[in-house]
Amino acid sequence: MTSLTKAPPDQKPIWHTLSTDGALRDQGVAAAIGLSQAEVSKRLQQYGPNRFAAAKKVRRDGQVIEVLAE
């Protein structure tokens, strides 16, 4: 089994600069194994579902009327 070491807690990674291996290592995950069900449950409880926030719906009616009025 591969030994994984996480980055020290006082050092926050700059995610977009990490290699895939570096990101996996920082999260304590082995690519070939993935997360255990227990770890998935723990992270879901801690961070919530992996979703983007719902976008606000923007009404464009007023903008169209303004453009047509010009």
The domain segmentation of the chain, as residue ranges, is 1-50
What pLDDT, on the 0 to 100 scale, is given for residue 6? 57
Predicted structure pTM score: 0.51
Question: How many angstroms separate the CA atoms of 19 and 57, rounded?
Answer: 36
CB atoms within 10 A of CB 39: 13
The confidence band for 45, taking pLDDT boundaries of 50, 70 and 90, is very high
Which residue in 20, 39, 22, 28 sits closest to 1, CA to CA?
A: 28
Which of 1-5, 35-39, 53-57 has maximum average pLDDT? 35-39
Q: Would the CA dihedral through 15, 20, 25, 29 be positive or negative?
A: positive
